[in-house]
Amino acid sequence: YSQLTSSNVSHVSYHYNPEVSNYHYGPHHPMKPFRLLLTDHLVSAYKLHEVMDLYQTTPASKEQMMKFHSPEYIEFLQKVSPDTVNRATASREFNIGDDCPIFDGLYQYGSMYSGSSLDATSKLISGISDISINWSGGLHHAKKYGPSGFCYINDIVLSILELLKYYPRVLYIDIDLHHGDGVQEAFYTTDRVMTCSFHKYNGTFFPATGNFNEVGIGRGKNFAVNVPLRDGIEDENYVKLFKSIMEPIISSFQPSVIVQQCGADSLGCDRLGCFNLNIKAHGACVKYIQSFGLPMLVLGGGGYTPRNVSRLWCHETAVLNNVELPNGKLPDTLPYKSFFGPDFSMHPNLGDRIENRNTKKYLESVRIRILEQVRFLNG
Ligand code: ZL4
Ligand code: CA
Ligand code: ZN
């Protein structure tokens, strides 16, 4: 299981099963798997498919999903259907409801996006890829015994468990708008996985966890990092804070592999969002992590304005391939081009919708507090 280090050009692989974009959470539900089809069309219109290894992925098996999830929960998902579900029981026993409804093909959907993450993971482990991408993954809220926040199977936990068989230390970075609670909880007591989430936090915003004082327990103490942010954070402050926190974490933790969740709901103008980030700033965080030259699993996550989700993940696919996309209008051959109006460009301004409630003083206190925690990593 050697890693490719001799070449200065990374081998990038893209893991996708087009079927995943056909599932529907239901009318008006903000999570739209169709955004994955839009992303794939953009990636293809820019000919990025030609510079990466493409893999059509296979669904995860029941046994693979039970490496984290309880057999009762997986069996429930396998058996349940919209017509036969007892909603009262499903809600009480398995947290089924408006956020996590029962829809047609739910089990296949969960095994499909998790299978993509596991396929991407095995290409890293075998050394065939230096960077593996699965935009359909990154569903960070799912718990051992049930779904949470639009997430049914925790593909991230499954992937990290697999990575831990071959790598001593895994760094997990989560730039989704929401706290990566499911991943944090799964590895809260180990010093082999460091979890680090940037998110909106005010004590009530979903999932209501992720304050500074959640740092891990036992051997895992100080190996969970939380960066609680207020509404309206802007490009420059976010990227500066991100780099100033991730640099010392990477130099002291010395991860052997990095998993990055790239949730697109931290962009400005997101249907559920409250930050002001532009696509280039979000992408700069991915580029910065890539610059450390470690094997990297890159995953999607949230993102509720499909045209911007697909723009972001196409831009990040380009970044990871060291490709500069042409400025100007989107390619004429792009299917669903009408979704991208009125500007028809890759970089609409998403940056000034919400008042920035993160003062310089607040962000400085966040940085100091986290650097304090990271100092404890070395004894
Ligand atoms: C919706 O319109 O804050 C679900 C969810 C369904 C359609 C019809 C039902 C209408 C917004 C959200 C009633 C919906 C009430 N429909 C939903 C406490 C809540 C209880 C459920 O990006 N109601 C729960 C979850 C968050 C809560 C965010 C982020 C995932 C990720 C990774 C998950 N849940 C209040 C909300 C709608 C809906 C409209 C919704 N749910 C917005 N925020 C939530 O981190 C993928
Ligand atoms: Ca996050
Ligand atoms: Zn989110």
Look up tokens 């991408």; give the residue: 133
Distance from Cα 177 to the centre of ligand 3, integer Å: 5
**Minimum-distance ligand to the CA of 207?**
1
Task: Quote the ligand 3 centre to 300 CA distance (angstroms).
Answer: 10
For residues 109 and 113, give the distance between their C-alpha atoms in angstroms, rounded to a whole number. Answer: 6
Q: Beta partners for 134?
A: 299
Nearest ligand to residue 225 Cα: 2
Nearest CA to ligand 1 atom 41: 99
Q: In whole angstroms, what is the distance from residue 35 CA to residue 308 CA? A: 9
For a mutational test of ligand 1's pocket, the pick from 29, 35, 99, i.e. the residue with the most ligand atoms closer than 8 A to its C-beta, is 99
For residue 303, give the ligand 1 atom closest to its CA: 22
* Helix, strand and coil in the chain, % to nearest 5: 40, 15, 45
Give per-residue pLDDT as tens, 89-104: 999 999 999 999 999 9
- Write out residues in the chain with pLDDT < 70, as ranges: 1-8, 378-379
pLDDT at 379: 58
Q: Among all ligands shown, which has an atom nearest to the Cα of 31?
A: 1
Counting from 1 in the atom list of ligand 1, the atom nearest the Cα of 28 is 7
Pocket (CB within 6 angstroms of ligand 1)? 28-30, 98-99, 139-141, 149-151, 176, 178, 206, 263, 265, 272, 301-302
301 alpha carbon to ligand 2 midpoint, in Å?
A: 9
Residue whose CA is closest, atom 27 of ligand 1? 206
CATH class of 12-57+117-378: alpha beta
Q: How many angstroms separate the alpha carbon of residue 198 from the centre of ligand 2?
A: 4
Q: How far is the CA of 288 from the centre of ligand 2 (A)?
A: 17
CB 145 within 8 A of CB 151: no
pLDDT value, residue 362: 98
CB atoms within 10 A of CB 190: 17
Provide the residues around ligand 2 (an ion) whose CB is within 5 A: 174, 176, 197, 199
Q: In angstroms, what is the span from residue 257 Cα to ligand 2's centroid?
A: 19
Question: Whose CA is closest to atom 30 on ligand 1?
Answer: 149
Amino acid at 100: C
pLDDT tens figures, 175-198: 999 999 999 999 999 999 999 999
Q: Enter the DSSP assignment of 48.
A: G
Bin 14: left if φ > 0, else alpha if -120 < ψ < 50, else beta. Answer: beta
**DSSP strands (E only) in 201-353:** 224-229, 257-261, 296-299
Spell out the alpha helix ranges (H) of 263-305. Answer: 279-290
Ligand nearest to the CA of 99: 1
**Most ligand 1 atoms within 8 A of CB, residue of 136, 156, 206 to mutate:** 206
For residue 376, what pLDDT is reported?
81
Q: What is the pLDDT of residue 227?
A: 99
* Contact (CB, 8 A) for 166 and 253: no
Give the pLDDT score at 3. 43
Active site residues: 179
What value does the CA radius of gyration of the chain take, rounded to a whole number of Å?
19
**What whole-number distance in Å separates Cα of residue 255 and Cα of residue 369?**
22
Atom of ligand 1 nearest to the CA of 263: 22
Q: Whose alpha carbon is nearest atom 33 of ligand 1?
A: 149
Ligand 3: centre distance to CA 223 (Å): 22
Minimal-distance CA residue to ligand 1 atom 22 = 302
